Structures are given as C-alpha cells and as structure tokens.
Structure 1
Amino acid sequence: METIFNYFENIPSTHRSIILVGGLTFFWLLESGLPLFKFKYNKWQHALPNLFFTLTTVIINFALAFLLVGTADWVQANNFGVINWLLPEMQPLWLYVLLGVLLLDFFGAYLAHFVEHKVKPLWMVHLVHHTDHKVDTTTANRHHPIESLIRFAFTLFGVFVVGTPIAIVMLYQAMSLVFTQFTHANLKMSKGLDKALSYVIISPDMHKIHHHYRLPYTDSNYGNIFSIWDRLFGTYMYLDREKIVYGVDVFPDETKNGHIGELLKQPFQKYEKPTLTTNVED
C-alpha cells in the first residue's frame, strides 16, 4: 500500500493520460467483442460528441488542478479533515486510503450526482449526459463544461472535508475514471456476476438502469465506484436489462442529441421535468 500511495503522490501527467486513453481503448475493444446491446450505429460518429466533452472535461480539470493540489496540501499540513481526525497517524495506511477513497466517492460522485438530479438548473446541465441514446464507454465523460465545473467543485469540497492528501486524490480520480468507463461500457456479462459485483461496486447493469429514459429509474443508482451509498440512502433500484431504454423522454430527438452544438445549448432550453411514473415495470 505504501508503494501505491507514493506512486500516486507523484504520478506524472503522462501516466494519468495513459489511464484515460488506455481505459477508453480497453473497454472500447471489449464492448465491441462482447456487446450487451447490438447497436446499429457508426461507433466513431457516435463517439465524436462524447470525446469532445471528454476533452473539455480534461481541460477544465487541468486548469483548476492547482486548487485540488493546494487544498490537499493544506489539509495534510494542518491535519484537517475526517480521515485525519479518525486516523491521525495515517495508520493503518490501507484503512486510511480506503476511507479516503470511499468518502471522496460520496462527495465527488454520489452527492454531486444526487444534487444534479434534484436541482432543476443543475439537472438541465446534467441532461447532456443522459441524452445519449446508445450508451457505451465513450458516454462516460459526456459532460457539459458547466457540469465539469460543478463536479470539480464537489470534489474540491470533498477533499477539504475528508482531508485527503494528494496521493489519495489522484488515486480516487484514477479509479473514478476507470470505473465510469467500465459501468458505461456496452459490455455483456452474466447477470449473476453483475448482481454479485453490485453488492460492493457499481456494476454495468446497475448503472445502466440509471440511464433508463423514464422515472423513477433515472433518479436511482447514482454511485460511481462503491454501491454502498445507493444502498445506504435508499436510491438503489433494479430493472431487468432487457427493459432498459436509453435517453430522456423530454429530449427524444436522437439526431439533435448527437450534435455538439445542440448539446452545448441543451441546458438553456425550457421544458417541464416529467412527473414520477408509478408503473415501475415500464
């Protein structure tokens, strides 16, 4: 664990880029060979807007990285934050790291995601992620630039409250990236294995339920790495994979939802969020 901690404390930017590109390539190839849904689409054409938003997310995170580094250094120097109060000597190190990643996953992923679904202006921004009609691994980082700023703010808040040093921050971000690529990948695995994984981590089927086009499933399964938060706060739902339909019912135009220009404007368009349907078998 000490070796891992030291590595992520000084991880080069090139290695972080390799994790992004390598993970995307790996799951791209894997889902092409073992697809859950046999989409009839031009995979590269579909990927274009998603890769554009991946690039904008990378640029924003890179530009604001100094805030993460500064906050992480401050909490470590001042022994501030939950994990530093619970484990002031960083011992045992494995528990210190696990607790840090677990809590960052709550603030940076679950809480941010939950709030985006409950606050209408934020939901309008987050809609860009949900209006993909053919969810695959490239959908993972399909986030409007405004959402990238929102997610960054929640992560920064998490670093401050949790008290994570930069090593844990970098480890969390690497894990978060790989997990989101994994859970969005159009990958078919046995239902038994997927269900077993979902008791500990977010499995592909578990997250794809979140991408179902209608409520209440859209407002469920918010997690990114660990499934404990959805189960703890009662936001876990199950829907058989064969019943999943991607997209959002209020933005049904798949052609528009595949154009970068339309997606950039999407958060500023008006519509009424649909009421909760009581037919959970739909």
Structure 2
Amino acid sequence: MNAIIAYFSTIPSSHRSLILVGGITIFWLIENAFPLFNFTYKKWHHASINIFLTFTTIVVNFCLAFILLKAADWTIATHFGILQWLPQMPLWLYMIIGLLLLDLIGAYLVHLVEHKTKLLWRFHLIHHTDIWIDTTSANRHHPGESVIRFTFTTLGILIVGSPMWMVFLYQTLSVVATQFNHANISLPKKVDTILSYFIVSPDMHKVHHHHVLPYTDSNYGNIFSVWDRIFGTFMTLPKEEIIYGIDTHTKPEEHNQLQNLLKIPFQKPRSTKNK
C-alpha cells in the first residue's frame, strides 16, 4: 500500500500519458482479434475523430489540474471531507472507500446529471452520436463536457476529502476502465456477468449506448457497478439487440464529422424519442 501511495503521489505526466496510450493500443489489438461486432466502417477515420476529442480532454484537464491539487491539499490541511471524518482504519479500506466515493461523484453522478439536464445533455450528446463504439470512443467528449466532468471531479475531491495520490489513482483507474468497457470486445457471457457484479463490464456499458430509452438512461457507472445497482439504474439487454447511436443524428455528416460534432451543443435542439 505504501508503495502505491508513494508512486501515485509523484506519478510523472509521462507515465499517465503512457497508461492512456498503452490502454487504447492494447484494447485496440484485442478488439481486432475478438470483436463483439464486425463493424463496416473506416476505423482510422473514426479513431482520428475520437482521438482528437480525447486530446482536447487531456488539454482541458492539464490546464485545470492545479485546481485539483489545490482542492486536495485544502481538504487535507483543513481535515475536511468524508475520509477526514472517518475513524482510523486500515489503509486498504481507506483507499477503497475513497475510490468508491470519487467514482460516485466524478463518474456516476455527473453522468446521471448530464442525462437529466437538457443543457448538459447537449454537450454529452456528442458521446452518444457514435454508432461504432470501440475503445477510442471512451473519451469522445466535447471540450465543454470535459469542463463539466472536471467540475464534478473537483466537487468529489472536496466532499470526499481525498489526498492527491488517491485522485491520481482514481483518474488512472478511470481511464483504463472506460477504455475497457467501451472496447468492441466479446467476453464469454459468464465472465462478463461475474465482472458486472464488481466493475462496469463491456456488455453492461454497451447497454447504455443503445439508441432508445429506457436503456440510454441506465448503467451510468464507469469503474464500479455498485452505484447503478444501488440506485436502480442497472439494466441488461442481449448484446445482439443493441443498436448504437442517437435518433437525432443518424446521418454520417452529423455523427462522423468532427466540425459538426463540435457545433452540436450550439445547434438548435432536435426532437427525439430519447430525450
């Protein structure tokens, strides 16, 4: 445990970048070998759009990272936040509680709010326009949504009272988890089901990308599946029945053109069966 804390307390930016790139590369190779769906699409064009949006997410988080550092340092200095108020406990339990709570606020809650709030949905919509979900889709976020998610992560740090090493650990696990559960991979049904009791598995998250309600408004989690189960937003759907995308943006120029994707939050909202 002490080694984990020491590493994530001073994790170099180069290591974080390597984890991001390495994860995409590994899952890219796996999904090519064991695909869930055999997409007929220009994979490199699709990837270039998603990787560009991933890059904008990195830039947003890099530029605002000092806010996370200040927030984490403040909670420790003032003994503010849930972790600071809990009685002394084993370090491993302290870490698990912290990660669970950060995931609740920084992933589940913000995702739920984005779906339930019309203004925020217009930014999150870009993520749901993707009709070819693969590992590059993981961070297909509009720069505006990256700011929204960053805000909730900061809120999570303040409420949880997490030290910076835990924040770095959470962000690392979050990156790998989202690459994994978006990957176009086919796991044995039993394996996926068992995983879904603990973490968000690929089949579990793919349900969230189904194009119609109520499935779109389900399975909001990113790392841990427990929050969907506790709050009643967990749903299943046979993977053979899943259709990706959103009914307001079915044309290629709407969902597969970067320039239009960046403009979507500022375009006139369209009526949809989904929202």
TM-score category by the smaller chain?
Answer: over 0.9
Q: Say which of 191, 204, 207 aligns to 2:205.
A: 207
How far 1:78 sits from its partner (Å)?
1.5
Q: How does 1:147-166 map to 2 (within 5 A)?
A: 147-166=145-164
How far 1:48 sits from its partner (Å)?
1.0
How far 1:255 sits from its partner (Å)?
3.4
Partner in structure 2 of residue 55 of structure 1: 55
> Does the 8 A contact of 2:253 with 2:260 survive in 1?
no
Cα distance in 2 for partners of 1:82, 1:275 equals 36
Provide the TM-score with structure 1 as the length reference: 0.95
% identical equivalent positions: 57
Partner in structure 2 of residue 105 of structure 1: 103
Cα distance in 1 for partners of 2:210, 2:62 equals 32
Match of 1:116, as an amino acid? E
> Does the 8 A contact of 1:82 with 1:163 survive in 2?
yes
Match of 2:179, as an amino acid? Q
Q: Say which of 212, 218, 236 aligns to 1:220.
A: 218
How far 1:274 sits from its partner (Å)?
2.2
How far 1:84 sits from its partner (Å)?
1.2
- The 3-state SS of whatever aligns with 2:219 is coil
Cα distance in 2 for partners of 1:187, 1:275 equals 26
Partner in structure 2 of residue 41 of structure 1: 41
- The 3-state SS of whatever aligns with 1:219 is coil
Provide the TM-score with structure 2 as the length reference: 0.98
Question: Once the two structures are superposed, what CA deviation does each residue of 1:240-279 show, in whole Å capped at 9, x if it has no partner?
Answer: 0000000001211133211110000111222124268xxx
Please list every run of 5 or more consecutive structure 2 residues that lacks an aligned counterpart in the other structure.
none
How far 1:228 sits from its partner (Å)?
0.6
> Does the 8 A contact of 1:108 with 1:155 survive in 2?
yes
Partner in structure 1 of residue 24 of structure 2: 24
Question: Once the two structures are superposed, what CA deviation does each residue of 1:87-114 show, in whole Å capped at 9, x if it has no partner?
Answer: 4x4x311011111111000000000000
Cα distance in 2 for partners of 1:268, 1:237 equals 31
> Does the 8 A contact of 2:212 with 2:274 survive in 1?
no
- The 3-state SS of whatever aligns with 1:195 is helix
Partner in structure 1 of residue 129 of structure 2: 131
Cα distance in 2 for partners of 1:39, 1:14 equals 33
Q: How does 1:225-240 map to 2 (within 5 A)?
A: 225-240=223-238
Partner in structure 2 of residue 68 of structure 1: 68
Cα distance in 2 for partners of 1:171, 1:154 equals 17
Partner in structure 2 of residue 179 of structure 1: 177
Partner in structure 1 of residue 2 of structure 2: 2
Please list every run of 5 or more consecutive structure 1 residues that lacks an aligned counterpart in the other structure.
277-282
> Does the 8 A contact of 1:133 with 1:254 survive in 2?
no
Cα distance in 2 for partners of 1:95, 1:260 equals 43
Q: Say which of 246, 249, 267 aligns to 2:247.
A: 249
Aligned length: 274
How far 1:153 sits from its partner (Å)?
0.1
